[in-house]
Structure 1
Amino acid sequence: MDHLTKLEELLDRANSDIKNGAYDEATNKLEKILDIDPDFGKAYNHLGYLYEVKFKEYEKGETLYKLCLEKSPMYPAVYYNYAVLLSTLGKYDDLKELLDTAITIPGVNKSTMYNEYGIMYEQLGKFDEAISYYKKAALQTLDKNVLNRAKDSIERCQLKKDLQ
């Protein structure tokens, strides 16, 4: 078994641990991956997710997402995870920069990224821009649930506009 296959296998096992709620075991496996190969970017993404979502250590999560972007800039998953964190932290300038890059990465779900733009603009009270991006999200998807969510988001922004 080659080096990369071994790391991918360990990553799969860490993913299973995360799904099963075994966060400490997952963390240990991910740290072992990085001990073996500090340039294996996907492991930073998964660790960032654990620190952000499970341990609520946002700064550590952000540092790990940045390392993933540095080591594996073509890895689609990090863009979504990092976008959610930046949105949570209200770091909208950084978020816009990240989304502008994400939308150019092959394999990144454009509908998901347009939805993140919509959320950002809605949180900033820029409802016309939010509506525009929610429409883009709707037009990019083939998933009826995503389409309905976009429609609901557009309606919510219309209501907020009316209240201004």
Structure 2
Amino acid sequence: MDHLTKLEEMLDQANGKFREGKYEEASNILEKIIDLDSNFGKAYNHLGWMYDTKFKEFDKAETLYKLCLEKSPMYPAVYYNYAVLLSSLGRYDDLKTHLDLAITIPGVSKSSIYNEYGIMYEQQGKLDLAIDNYKKCGLHSLDQKTVDRAKQGIERCKSKQYFL
């Protein structure tokens, strides 16, 4: 078994531990991957996601996401995960810069990124821009649930416009 295949198998093991709710075990596997190969960016993304969503250690999560972006800039998952973190922290200038990059990366879901633009603009009260991006989200998706979510975002923004 070659080196990369071994790392990918270990990453799959860590994902299994995540699904089982065994976060410490998952973290240990990911740390071991990084010890074996500090340039395997996917491990940083997965650790970042864990620190972000499970431990709420946002500074640590951001550091790990940035390491993934540095080591594996073509890994699509980190673009979405880091966008969600920046959005939840209300760091809209950083988020806009990040989304502008993410939309250009092959393999990154355009629909997901347009949804994140929509959320960002909606949170800022820029409802026309939010609606435009929710429309793009729907147009770029082949998944009916995503299309329905985009419609809900548009309707929600139109409702909010009543208050302006």
Shared fold (TM-score, shorter chain, > 0.5)? yes
- Name the TM-score class by shorter chain: over 0.9
Identical aligned residues as a percent: 68
Partner of 1:101: 101
Over the residues paired in the alignment, what is the CA RMSD in angstroms? 0.5
TM-score of the aligned structures, taking structure 1 as reference length: 0.99
- Matched residues in 2 for 1:146 and 1:22: separation? 30
1:1-164 superposed matches below 5 A: 1-164=1-164
Q: Deviations over 1:84-118 (max 9, x none)?
A: 00000011111111111111111111001000000
Distance 1:98 1:73 in 2: 12
Q: How many aligned positions are there?
A: 164
Q: What is the DSSP-based 3-state SS (H/G/I as helix, E as strand, rest coil) of the residue aligned with 1:79?
A: helix
Aligned-pair distance for 1:119? 0.1
Unaligned runs of 5+ in 2: none
Question: Runs (4+) of structure 1 moved beyond 4 Å?
Answer: none
Letter in 2 for 1:61: A
TM-score, length of structure 2 as denominator length: 0.99
Distance 1:100 1:71 in 2: 19
**Residues in 1 aligned to 2:6 and 2:91: alpha-carbon distance in whole angstroms:** 36
Q: For 1:11 and 1:94, how far apart are their aligned partners in 2?
A: 29
Distance (Å, rounded) in 1 between the aligned partners of 2:159 and 2:101: 31
Q: Tell me by how many angstroms 1:162 deviates.
A: 1.2
- List runs of 5+ in structure 1 lacking aligned partners: none
